[in-house]
Amino acid sequence: MNFTEVYYLNTNRKKYIMSTIQEEIAKRKTFGIISHPDAGKTTLTEKFLLYGGAIQTAGAVKSNKIKKSATSDFMEIERQRGISVATSVMSFEYDGNLVNLLDTPGHKDFAEDTYRTLTAVDSVILVVDCVKGVEEQTQKLMEVCRMRSTPVIVFINKMDREGKDPFDLLDEIEEKLKIKVHPLSWPINMGSLFKGVYNIHKKSLNLFRAGSQRVEEEVVSISDINDAILEKQVGEQDARRLRDDVELIEGVYGPLDKNTYLEGTIAPVFFGSAINNFGVKELLESFLELAPTPRSRPTDHGEIQPTDKNFSGFIFKIHANLDPKHRDRIAFLRVCSGKFERNKFFHQVRTNKNMRFSSPFSFLASAKNIVDEAFPGDVIGLYDTGNFKIGDTLTEGKDFNFQGIPSFSPELFKELVNTDPMKTKQLEKGIQQLTDEGVAQLFTHEMGNKKIVGVVGDLQFEVIQYRLQHEYKASCMFQPISLYKACWITSDDKAKLTEFCRVKYQYIYKDKDENIVFLAESAWVLKVAQDNFPEIEFHFTSEFKTKQKV
């Protein structure tokens, strides 16, 4: 084979590879489901999995009395409490699309896990309880979406219960979440009189049978809402009210501009009842039609496009003991560009090491399937022996680091006390691995090895203590300690940084990455420190470029 033949063979191969990558990108939708606790997020997740054929029956998630656990809640403590306390990942196929769904914790005490997960998705479905309306945690989650201009679709759930008027809910969402809404479906009554939803977007009437846990549903196509068939299906009074409502909606909102949704300025709204399959299928199908394919990601060297030929991705979550029997540690990787291949060497930027992975896998909650390749938008699991930290970047070409995956300053602090000296090694290993996951932050004082654990919510202490005991056989207690804020500190003036650490020695700790952290006792103490040491920079997230050590 001569040079020209080799050249054209390689050129055609590159074109074929790029064509394959572009085709795979076009198939993928990667999104997160977020909500306030008990809004029905995990139930909606399971209905999606039912439609995708990934599971055959849905779990009944009802407080502590769970007879069949939710598929996405695989930790024992989740099954006991009936809540999600960790992000889980599920992949399934539907109508030619490969859907990567990330089910996040709804409880505010685990918000930081949700915040990081939102860096790995391209869009979001926000679930709102029609009875309670917009709640505090929903507002906080929406703030994170706005920060990243993440496209949002709203699903107003539990329409089979007596709740707020649909128009009042739309006004409340706009006012409290500070985003314009655009209803694409509309409910026919609510509570015991709820008969289904009219799909404004596709001009169809979806009728459902209350109490059914099956996927089947009755869909009636209505090309003209004034067709007499509407009266036959829902009755004269409800038909008249539906026509009036839809006329008002179309007059006020007009047709949806898809670009405004993709820019994150308008949120399409759907109504339904996840537990009864009301409006779930139309939500899924409309989402797959509207939602973006994998998007670009910011790095310290500019934007990385999914169509870039070289592979890149970042670690947004680490979970130890996903399978307690095997004591495994899994790093969750979001593929951002190029093609990930099994057994191929990739470069870990932080450690400057080349790594390859013999058993990468895709997820269905706790179930795992080995994959040979993955494309932008995919989330895969990598077995980890302690090489990864949250935020790590893997590349195939030049070095760079993905941005926007910070740890936030904790709000609650307690001292970790070992109650069984014979299990010291187990406790050390356990707390290191759990804080590597990002469920909490660990600050260690050089003198006496005093350990302070910082969290966002008090329930996290209970989860940590439970997991240390059941997964690592370690015994501990948490001693309350009065602290206000953890601040990462840096300075261009090394002498001033050294002086500050000497003066504040009692409150100077190191995080797990050996960065210097000042634990301020109160807001007043922090302000005085900032005023007395203007050369010191106080950071309230871990995302800063200069990491100075003393």
The dihedral over CA atoms of 444, 118, 133, 170, expressed in degrees to the nearest 10, equals 150
Is the pLDDT confidence value at 325 over 80? no
Say how far apart CA 166 and CA 186 lie, in whole Å. Answer: 8
Percentage above 70 pLDDT, the chain:
81
Q: Report pLDDT digits (tens) over 87-132.
A: 577 888 898 899 999 877 644 545 566 777 888 999 999 999 999 9
Residue 4 lies inside a defined structural domain of this protein: no
What pLDDT sits at residue 87? Answer: 52
Confidence of residue 433 (pLDDT cuts 50, 70, 90): confident
Does 152 reside within a domain? Answer: yes
Least confident among 384-388, 403-407, 442-446? 403-407
Both structure tokens of 192: 């015991």
Residue 153's nearest CA partner among 121, 197, 194 is 121
Among 79, 152, 88, CA closest to 368: 88
Domain final residue, candidates 290, 314, 341: 290
Q: Say if residue 94 is in the same domain as residue 197.
A: yes
- 47 lies in a domain? yes
Residue 304: Cβ within 10 Å count: 23
- Count the domains in the chain: 3
Give the pLDDT confidence score for residue 449 in this predicted structure: 80
> Rounded mean pLDDT of 369-385?
90
Whole-number Å distance between alpha carbons of 337 and 134:
36
pLDDT in tens, 177-198: 999 999 999 998 888 888 888 8
Would residue 530 count as lying in a domain? Answer: yes
402 in any annotated domain: no
Task: State which of 290, 313, 341 marks the end of a domain.
Answer: 290
Res. 36: pLDDT tops 90? no
Diameter of the chain measured on Cα atoms: 83
Question: Which runs of consecutive H residues, i.e. helices, occur in 410-520?
Answer: 424-436, 459-472, 494-503
- Quick one: which of 362, 349, 215, 360 has its CA closest to 278? 215
Other Cβ atoms within 10 Å of 310 Cβ, number: 13
Residue closest to 165 by CA, chosen among 140, 191, 138: 191
The boundaries of the domain holding residue 478 are: 412-539
pLDDT above 70: residue 349: yes
Confirm whether 7 is domain-assigned.
no
Together in a domain, 305 and 193: no
pLDDT reported for residue 218: 60
Query: Could you write out the three-class secondary structure of 362-418?
Result: EEECCEEEECCEECCCCEEEEECCCCCCCCCEEECCCCCCECCCCCECCCEEEEEEE
Assess contact for 280 and 44: CB atoms under 8 A. yes
| Residues 453 and 478 reside in one and the same domain | yes
Residue pair 525/460 in contact by the 8 Å Cβ criterion = no
| Closest of 205, 201, 195 to residue 230, by C-alpha | 205
Average pLDDT over residues 369-390: 89
What are the helix (H) ranges across 134-180?
136-147, 166-177
Confidence of residue 1 (pLDDT cuts 50, 70, 90): low
CATH number at residue 418: 3.30.70.3280
Question: For 470-524, how does the pLDDT look when each residue is reduced to its tens digit (9 = 90+)?
Answer: 888 999 999 999 999 999 999 999 999 999 999 999 999 999 888 999 999 999 9
pTM for this model (two decimals): 0.77
Alpha carbon of residue 233 to chain centroid = 39
> What is the domain-level CATH number for residue 62?
3.40.50.300
H helices of 86-151, in order, are: 111-117, 136-147
214, 155, 216, 218: which is closest to 187 by C-alpha?
Answer: 155
pLDDT at 2 over 80: no
269 and 375 assigned to the same domain: no
Question: What is the per-residue pLDDT for 378?
Answer: 93
Same-domain check for residues 248 and 323 = no
Q: Which of 334, 361, 395 is the last residue of a domain?
A: 395
Per-residue pLDDT for 366 more than 60? no
pLDDT at 396: 93
Question: Domain check: are 309 and 378 in the same one?
Answer: yes
Flag whether pLDDT at 437 surpasses 90: no
Residue 306 and residue 226 share a domain: no
pLDDT in tens, 286-323: 999 999 999 999 998 899 999 999 999 999 888 766 55
Length of the chain: 550
- In this predicted structure, what is the pLDDT of residue 86? 45
Which is more confident, 308 or 59? 308
The three-state secondary structure class of 537 is: strand
pLDDT at 284: 93
Is residue 343 over pLDDT 90? yes
In a domain, 81, yes or no: yes
Contact (Cβ atoms closer than 8 angstroms) between residue 434 and residue 468: yes
Question: What is the Cα–Cα distance from 177 to 174, expressed in whole angstroms?
Answer: 6
Q: Is residue 535 part of a domain?
A: yes
pLDDT at 54 over 70: no
Q: Is the pLDDT of residue 40 over 80?
A: yes
Looking at the fold, whether 78 and 145 belong to one and the same domain comes out as yes
Q: Cα separation of 69 and 76, whole Å?
A: 10
- Mark whether 125 and 60 lie in a shared domain: yes
Same-domain pairing of 318 and 450: no
Residues 346 and 435 in one domain: no
Clarify whether residues 113 and 247 are in a common domain. Answer: yes
Residues 270-284: what's their mean pLDDT?
Answer: 88
More confident site: 435 or 133: 133
pLDDT greater at residue 541 or residue 213 = 541
